[in-house]
Chain A
């Protein structure tokens, strides 16, 4: 109930995700430095940068898989604090897709998708399954619903993972390098699903090196290095006329060959 209240009060104008002056350290290592980022409802953002630049840490802070030490993160009007209830509330509205899929191997595809709707949203099995089948059909894997994750290919598993997140009706989807653990021929089937999702107006933050995907769907591309946001721009100027020397260097390295 409080969820709906915050949503309606958030409205279209309030940003979906807001990060102000976020800093994070692993021990003495300064991973996130003065991050300011605002994501509007329906916006699609691609984050790129060299490995170890803090891009995964950044999006993992948004659903509090990582804890930030300074600054403020507000998701859908709910500020993230130590409060467990608030963290769970935020996680209900934020879906996440991992690099290594992280499907639950002891549950079937369908059970993976029904787990959270049944236990967190308190839906009946029939309702949860009907909805799960609907999403599995959307990612074109409905015929595998009774199989176990171990029986599927990487691309199929990642599509199931996307469907599993969608079953919670998230307002934002976070993608943490969703295609980098996949064989080349499977990348496209996952990207197709993500493009489709973007077309439907889902708010998305993607950490990815798929620059083709960034060009087609992103509203903004963010380049990170050494824990800070170096450059932030619409895809066309970002790729054609990067402002920062380091962005140029990075782009030439990943597009150069």
Chain B
């Protein structure tokens, strides 16, 4: 009965519903309760941020060589500055630092290559990272070959040690984790229960007891006279701990692959290891990367525990520097610096894993 051929032109929304004022109204002052919350929030922000900024930037001292260069009103970054080399490399000989730099620079290139989706030859780079790089890194860092002076592990420390612990623990835990995950899904009862017990045991106890065990009990387990480097002992403990968590992430990834994939592979006449290695694991690994990155973040934070068994990781070396009689009273600066370093690493990794997760989700909708 009615019809209307003339289009009504789109009109801009009334001013009270769009624009910055409307945004403020909708997001900050949409009612009395909300307004109170906003004001409390603003006050909180003011109370927290003003002294922090004043301390860390405005009143802070940056340049100098000793504590006399600090005015004591704000932060004394001179302390961190003076100790920076130690915080990053531990007691590694000053003349040999290039070796550490080279290892980490090449590691950064490899990881960046793997992390940026567009670059080609992913598989080969991954194999190089997992197989060739550890040998290279060991030779470079430990030395004793090719005319490189030997550097004992007790001189390793700081951020360098933190990264070594986390990366080695992770890389070593990956294959064990894959085997455990496959074992847990196996239909052979003994294999399955062995894997379940193994995984649940390491997941059920705190890392610190594992580290105690590795440092105190491991020497007892070995034949008399055989001694193991302290760093290696810590690495064994971390690897066992991490492999149990990795196994659970991998199991989750395996469960996400439809049964049809394995059935199709079986229908093509593939053996168990071919089905797993060629069809299921490559697909599952892709889906697991966010989970793997997340466990890596936890591990990265957990490496700080090694200081309890006497290794000087980033936190350990900062803690040790705090008791230096020339620099007493700068605990806050030391912790803030260490926290900042850890935070940068963990935050960027967690953002990356969120990005991957989003990418995976959209990929599946298509």
Is there a contact between chains A and B in the complex with CB atoms less than 8 Å apart? yes
Please give me the residue from chain A that is nearest to B13 by CB atom: A25
Is B3 among interface residues, defined by CB-CB distance under 8 A?
A: yes
Number of interface residues of B (CB under 8 A): 14
Q: Is the CB of B5 within 8 A of A244?
A: yes
Q: Is the CB of B17 within 8 A of A231?
A: no
Partner of B18, one of A27, A33, A244: A27
**Residues of chain A with a CB closer than 8 A to B11's CB:** 23, 30, 33
Q: Number of contact residues on A: which range applies?
A: 20 to 34
Is A233 among interface residues, defined by CB-CB distance under 8 A?
A: yes
With A25-B18, A28-B18, A226-B7 already in contact, the answer to whether A232 and B13 are too (CB < 8 A) is: no
Q: Is the CB of A28 within 8 A of B13?
A: yes
Q: Is the CB of B5 within 8 A of A69?
A: no
Q: Is the CB of A230 within 8 A of B10?
A: no
Q: Is the CB of B14 within 8 A of A70?
A: yes
Is A234 among interface residues, defined by CB-CB distance under 8 A?
A: yes
Q: Contact mask B1-41 → A, CB, 8 Å, 1/0?
A: 11111011011111001100000000000000000000000
With A28-B12, A30-B10, A30-B11 already in contact, the answer to whether A69 and B4 are too (CB < 8 A) is: no
**Residues of chain A with a CB closer than 8 A to B5's CB:** 230, 243-245
Q: Is the CB of B3 within 8 A of A233?
A: yes
Q: Is the CB of A243 within 8 A of B13?
A: no
Q: Is the CB of B3 within 8 A of A243?
A: yes
**Residues of chain B with a CB closer than 8 A to A30's CB:** 10-13
Q: Is the CB of B13 within 8 A of A228?
A: no
Nearest CB on A from B8, distance (A): 4
Q: Is the CB of B1 within 8 A of A244?
A: no
Q: Contact mask A206-238 → B, CB, 8 Å, 1/0?
A: 000000000000000000001111111110010
Please give me the residue from chain A that is nearest to B14 by CB atom: A69
Q: Is the CB of A34 within 8 A of B14?
A: no
Nearest CB on A from B35, distance (A): 16
Q: Is the CB of B4 within 8 A of A230?
A: yes
**Residues of chain B with a CB closer than 8 A to A237's CB:** 1
Q: Contact mask A43-86 → B, CB, 8 Å, 1/0?
A: 00000000000000000000000000110000000000000000
A59-B17 Cα distance, complex, nearest whole Å: 21
**Residues of chain A with a CB closer than 8 A to B13's CB:** 25, 27-28, 30, 69
A231-B14 Cα distance, complex, nearest whole Å: 27
Nearest CB on B from A35, distance (A): 10
Q: Is the CB of B12 within 8 A of A231?
A: no
With A25-B18, A27-B13, A28-B12 already in contact, the answer to whether A228 and B1 are too (CB < 8 A) is: no
With A27-B13, A69-B13 already in contact, the answer to whether A231 and B8 are too (CB < 8 A) is: no
Q: Contact mask A9-22 → B, CB, 8 Å, 1/0?
A: 00000000000000
A88-B14 Cα distance, complex, nearest whole Å: 27
Nearest CB on B from A249, distance (A): 12
Q: Is the CB of B8 within 8 A of A232?
A: no
Nearest CB on A from B7, distance (A): 7
Nearest CB on B from A168, distance (A): 28
Nearest CB on A from B33, distance (A): 13
Please give me the residue from chain B that is nearest to A27 by CB atom: B18
**Residues of chain A with a CB closer than 8 A to B17's CB:** 25, 69
Q: Is the CB of B14 within 8 A of A228?
A: no
**Residues of chain A with a CB closer than 8 A to B1's CB:** 232-234, 237
Q: Is the CB of A230 within 8 A of B8?
A: no
With A25-B13, A25-B17, A30-B13 already in contact, the answer to whether A231 and B4 are too (CB < 8 A) is: yes
Nearest CB on B from A80, distance (A): 17
Q: Is the CB of B18 within 8 A of A231?
A: no
A245-B13 Cα distance, complex, nearest whole Å: 28
Nearest CB on B from A235, distance (A): 12
Nearest CB on A from B92, distance (A): 56
Q: Contact mask B127-144 → A, CB, 8 Å, 1/0?
A: 000000000000000000
Partner of A228, one of B7, B12, B18: B7
Which of B3, B14, B17 neighbours the largest number of chain A CB atoms within 10 Å of its CB?
A: B3
**Residues of chain A with a CB closer than 8 A to B18's CB:** 25, 27-28
Q: Is the CB of A231 within 8 A of B10?
A: no
Q: Which 8 A-B pairs have the closest CB atoms?
A: A25-B13, A243-B3, A30-B10, A231-B3, A33-B8, A232-B2, A228-B8, A244-B3
Interface residues of B (CB under 8 A from A): 1-5, 7-8, 10-14, 17-18
- A sample of 8 cross-chain residue pairs with beta-carbon separation below 8 angstroms, ordered by A number, consists of A27-B18, A29-B10, A30-B11, A69-B14, A70-B14, A226-B10, A228-B7, A232-B2
